[in-house]
């Protein structure tokens, strides 16, 4: 009997039960919820019988996990990032790892980034509080600026970042500065942006939005030193990964009013603790990692994962492979 585990992904199959039905046509499907910080050995003990895993953004699948799951052949991330997967350990233990192809989530996450940006820029939350508190007379405190006359800095100009840049330039008339060491100036220009250095982006942007993958080289890239380079009225948007921002430095910048607002869909620890210091700031908008939560995106994500599992059991290479394979499927 083929066995498939769905790990910490509460959305898989919820809106599109046909995805589960396709898997049940040839195997057993079980849903598991683990603490995000569960140790690899304990996780492996619970999942040692499965050939395929559909994985959310948590928990972490580390070297110990892969060394103790001899039946596992495929781990499908039900999302874009693979920073919670030890890819070298997966490869050494002959486990294929896939992620959702970028275009599937592109529109949904880009729209969510714009929604967060506009919510902070136009002080929507504050305006609602004024009405609830019978403080209509304070509405002038919601004054802001127009994107048409603004400079937006986009860090990471792949599928999602380039879509955000195009929306901001073509839809709002904003100037778009881009920091992406892996993209040429020509490619960035074609996607309505201007390639610049990170220091130039930090010092010139009125809005900064993050859209890069998490890696060792960019972890906590927005540190105290980075915040010191930013304009005082800058808005910071993060729909990429929480660890790109040094949270302690961010909280200091907010407390000192060195930036005018922060909006995020991702955090260093998920789920976010309801007592987290970020929740104390009125100029902070937070959402629970829902950027990809549209019917269109979830349909595409689920279909991609199911198709890859079908291909794996048919001895075909799956799509969106992120580690190198040197063995037969």
Residue 146 structure tokens? 């127009």
pLDDT for 326 equals 59
CA triple 220-257-272, angle to 5 deg: 50
Sequence ranges of the domains in the chain = 2-101+294-313, 124-282
**pLDDT band at residue 328, thresholds of 50, 70 and 90?**
low
Cα–Cα distance, 244 to 218 (Å, whole number) = 6
pLDDT for 44 equals 99
* Residue 313 confidence (pLDDT) above 90: yes
Instruction: Judge whether 210 and 244 are in contact, CB under 8 Å.
Output: yes
State the average pLDDT over residues 267-280: 96
Q: Is the dihedral of CA 145, 150, 155, 159 positive or negative?
A: positive
Of 91, 76, 107, 92, the closest CA to residue 320 belongs to 76
Of 206, 194, 256, 199, the closest CA to residue 222 belongs to 199
What residues are labeled active site? 241, 270, 289
* Residue 252 confidence (pLDDT) above 90: yes
We find that the CATH architecture of domain 2-101+294-313 is 3-Layer(aba) Sandwich (3.40)
Digit-coded pLDDT (tens) for 94-140: 999 999 999 999 999 999 999 999 999 999 999 999 999 999 999 99
Find all residues with CB under 8 Å of 243, minimum gap 6, and list them.
83, 214, 219, 220, 268
pLDDT for 1 equals 82
Digit-coded pLDDT (tens) for 5-48: 999 999 999 999 999 999 999 999 999 999 999 999 999 999 99
Digit-coded pLDDT (tens) for 236-248: 999 999 999 999 9
CATH placement of domain 124-282: 3.40.50.720
| Burial per residue of 260-292, b for 16 or more beta-carbon CB atoms within 10 angstroms, e otherwise | bbbbbbbbeeeebeeeeebeeeebbbbbebebb
**pLDDT band at residue 329, thresholds of 50, 70 and 90?**
low
Q: Do domains 2-101+294-313 and 124-282 have the same CATH topology?
A: yes
């Amino acid at each position: 009997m083929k066995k498939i585990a769905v790990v910490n992904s509460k959305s898989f199959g919820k809106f599109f039960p046909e995805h589960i039905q396709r898997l049940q046509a040839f195997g057993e499907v079980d849903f598991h919820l683990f603490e995000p910080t569960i140790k690899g050995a304990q996780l492996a003990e619970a999942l040692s019988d499965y050939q395929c895993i559909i994985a959310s953004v948590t928990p972490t699948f580390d070297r110990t996990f892969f060394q103790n799951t001899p039946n596992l052949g495929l781990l499908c991330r039900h999302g874009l990032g693979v920073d919670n997967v030890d890819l070298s350990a997966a490869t050494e233990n002959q486990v294929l790892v896939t992620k959702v192809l970028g275009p599937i989530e592109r529109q949904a996450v880009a729209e969510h980034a714009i929604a967060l940006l506009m919510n902070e820029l136009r002080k929507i939350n504050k305006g609602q509080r004024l009405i609830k508190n019978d403080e209509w007379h304070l509405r002038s405190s919601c004054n802001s600026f127009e994107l048409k006359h603004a400079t937006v800095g986009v860090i990471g100009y792949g599928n999602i970042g380039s879509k955000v840049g195009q929306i901001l330039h073509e839809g709002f008339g904003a100037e778009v500065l881009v920091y992406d060491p892996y993209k040429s100036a020509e490619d960035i220009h074609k996607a309505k942006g201007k390639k610049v250095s990170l220091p130039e982006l930090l010092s010139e942007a009125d809005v900064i939005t993050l859209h890069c993958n998490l890696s060792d080289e960019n972890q906590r890239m927005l540190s105290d030193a980075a915040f010191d380079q930013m304009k005082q009225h800058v808005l910071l948007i993060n729909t990429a990964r929480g660890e790109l921002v040094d949270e302690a430095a961010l909280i200091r910048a907010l407390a000192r009013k060195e930036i005018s607002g922060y909006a995020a869909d991702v955090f260093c620890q998920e789920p976010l603790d309801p007592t987290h210091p970020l929740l104390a700031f009125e100029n902070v908008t937070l959402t629970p990692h829902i950027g990809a939560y549209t019917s269109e995106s979830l349909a595409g994500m689920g279909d991609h994962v199911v198709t890859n599992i079908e291909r794996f059991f048919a001895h075909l290479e799956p799509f969106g492979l992120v580690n190198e394979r040197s063995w037969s499927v």
